[in-house]
Amino acid sequence: MINLKRTLLVLAVVILGANPICVLANEEAHAGEPSDKSKEIGEYIVHHLQDDHFFSLYKAGEETVGFPLPVILIDNGLKVFSSGEFKHGKAVVEKDGQFYKYYHGKIYKTDAAGTISYDDKHHPTNAKPLDFSITKNVFGLFLAAFLMFVGFLSLAKTYKKGPSNLPKGFGRVLEPLVLYVRDEMAIPNIGHRYKEFMPYLLSVFFLIFTLNILGLTPIGFNVTGNISITVCLALFTFVVTTIKANKDYWKHIFWMPGVPVPFKIILAPIEVLGMFTKPFSLMLRLFANITAGHSVIMGLIAIVYLFQTQLTVGGSVGISMLLTLVLFFLELLVAFLQAFIFTMLSSLFIGMAVEEHAHH
């Protein structure tokens, strides 16, 4: 007999990119301690969603195996060093007379003893330096940008040889997606000016899609589940829409034609508010769906762990394989849908801004 708790924990973290060895090691360390299982599950989920300054691959005994990422701080000058010097939060790093401690995923200024002060709600009150470090999410962005560059460079070389040449290699995978973005999003929503915005729409679609796919691997990326990333993407759409908007767009916002003056005064503030709710909805939709998707899947898998159900080895393996297959394809569909929805809405907002209205 094998406890399904361990099987499902490994299954959950492998699907969502966490580290099964680290999770099981943590589980064994607390095996004899009375604990709230729902709280323990919540900690696993939060740990997966958080960013980190160290790339953990697996755990061998008490040592976490991976590679450190560069720490870049601005605090009375530029300070660059390896995150490995923190020793996973156990050591205090001294640079140019300043002491820094890694605590709960953030870097705080401290003293030589690593003292952390707290407020009434047990939140750290230590000052934080300006942190421009290369974290896991930043590394994921660089990796996605590199993969996109390599893929599109191959596709561009094919097109340079003439329109009759068929793409080769990975370009055959990219071309149908490029045509899909052009024919199903850009042309219907933007119209004859679609070519002007195709580079942006393609960049947004493939960046989100690539990051979502990387989030399905055991590497541990959760880039699109980070609110700062989705804010930046939504701001780009807002800036493009605002800069490229024509006079008809602004007229329909501030002084809508064909509407009585009293209603124009009422509608103008609503339309101005709508300018900001559009990028806000883009930001929140992508962030919430990716975060909720990861959290819900881990929560559903953890139901059996919560009830401590027992299964035979064969039964647990069969259920693990079935759940892995179903959940993988579900997340794969979500990865594409979120890239599609963000790009579709961006093209729709841009099309509304550049549309030429015929007034009669």
Instruction: Give domain status of residue 31, yes or no.
Output: no
The alpha-carbon radius of gyration of the chain (Å, integer) is 25
What pLDDT does residue 313 have? 45
Instruction: Give domain status of residue 274, yes or no.
Output: yes
> 0.75 exceeded by the pTM?
yes
Same domain, yes or no: 349 and 298: yes
Instruction: Give domain status of residue 35, yes or no.
Output: no
Of the residues 90, 114, 133, the one at which a domain ends: 133
Domain count for the chain, please give it.
2
Please state, in angstroms and rounded to a whole number, the distance separating the CA atoms of residues 170 and 148: 11
What pLDDT does residue 31 have? 43
| β-pair partners for 68 | 54
Please state, in angstroms and rounded to a whole number, the distance separating the CA atoms of residues 338 and 129: 34
Same domain, yes or no: 233 and 324: yes
Instruction: Give domain status of residue 40, yes or no.
Output: no
What does the pLDDT profile of the chain (360 residues) look like in tens digits?
Answer: 334 444 444 444 444 444 443 444 444 444 444 346 667 667 666 766 778 888 777 666 666 677 888 999 998 889 999 988 988 788 999 998 889 999 888 899 999 888 999 988 888 999 999 999 999 889 999 999 999 998 888 888 877 776 666 777 777 888 889 999 999 999 999 988 899 999 999 999 999 999 988 887 767 678 888 888 999 999 999 999 999 988 888 888 888 887 788 888 888 888 889 889 999 999 988 888 887 777 766 666 666 566 554 444 445 445 655 665 677 778 788 889 999 999 999 999 999 998 876 544
Nearest to 237 by CA among 105, 115, 343, 119: 343
What pLDDT does residue 320 have? 52
Same domain, yes or no: 107 and 144: no
CA distances from 150 to 165, 228, 335 (A): 19, 26, 21
**Cα-based torsion angle of the residue sequence 136, 137, 143, 147 in order, rounded to the nearest 10 degrees:** 150
Q: How long, in residues, is the chain?
A: 360
| Under 8 Å between Cβ of 92 and 101 | yes
Q: Which domain holds residue 319?
A: 137-354
Same domain, yes or no: 346 and 217: yes
Return the biggest CA–CA distance within the chain: 78
Same domain, yes or no: 108 and 227: no
Instruction: Give domain status of residue 7, yes or no.
Output: no
Instruction: Give domain status of residue 296, yes or no.
Output: yes
Instruction: Give domain status of residue 299, yes or no.
Output: yes
Same domain, yes or no: 82 and 158: no
| β-pair partners for 3 | 310
| Under 8 Å between Cβ of 72 and 93 | no
What pLDDT does residue 207 have? 94
